[in-house]
């Protein structure tokens, strides 16, 4: 899909759909949205829909940062306290390393 060839309204619609889709626990979709529409939103010369695209890109970036923070915190906590939590940690674990408590 080449963004160059799409008319502006469709670009806006696509950006919006990606933005809305990201709310379904899909920060990756927000990342794709940001990267893909970055040039459209910030680098290209202005056109009517650009302002809205900019808002969506900014909000996607914000949501992405939020998710990254949440996930990093959770992963750090889990990796650090996994041994101490005992059973609960085992229950939560997908893989348990061998040889390390």
Partner 1 sequence: MNASDSEEDCYNERTALVQAENPALPSYRPEPEQAPPTNAEPKMQGGARRGGSPVLDGGEADQEADVDDEELTLKYGAKHVIMLFVPVTLCMVVVVATIKSVSFYTEKNGQQLIYTPFTEDTASVGLRLLNSVLNTIIMISVIVVMTIFLVVLYKYRCYKFIHGWLILSSLMLLFWFSFMYLGEVFKTYNVAMDYPTVGMIIWNFGAVGMICIHWKGPLQLQQAYLIVISALMALVFIKYLPEWSAWVILGAISIYDLVAVLCPKGPLRMLVETAQERNEPIFPALIYSSAMVWTVGMANPSAHSERPAQDAAPLWEGEEAEQSSAGAEPESRPSRSYPADEDLEEDRGVKLGLGDFIFYSVLVGKAAATGEDWNTTLACFVAILIGLCLTLLLLAIFKKALPALPISITFGLVFYFSTDYLVRPFMDSLADHQFYI
Place of tokens 């459209």: 40
Sequence length of the chain is 101
List all residues 6 or more positions away from 47 whose beta carbon is below 8 Å from its beta carbon: 8
Among 12, 29, 41, 57, binds partner 1 (CB under 8 A): 29
CB of 47 to partner 1, least distance (A): 19
Binding flag, residue 99, partner 1 (CB under 8 A): yes
Options 32-40, 42-50, 52-60: segment touching partner 1 (CB under 8 A):
32-40
Distance CA 34, CA 57 (A): 5
**Residues 66-95 interacting with partner 1 (rule: CB under 8 A):** 71, 74-75, 78-79, 82, 89, 92-95
């Amino acid at each position: 899909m080449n963004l160059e060839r799409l008319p502006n309204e469709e670009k806006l619609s696509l950006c919006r759909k990606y933005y809305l889709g990201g709310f379904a626990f899909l920060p990756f979709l927000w990342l794709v949205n940001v990267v893909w529409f970055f040039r459209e939103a910030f680098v290209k010369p202005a056109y009517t829909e650009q302002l809205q695209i900019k808002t969506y890109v900014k909000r996607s970036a914000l949501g992405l940062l939020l998710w990254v923070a949440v996930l990093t915190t959770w992963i750090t906590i889990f990796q650090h306290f996994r041994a101490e939590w005992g059973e609960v940690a085992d229950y939560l674990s997908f893989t348990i390393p061998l040889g390390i408590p």
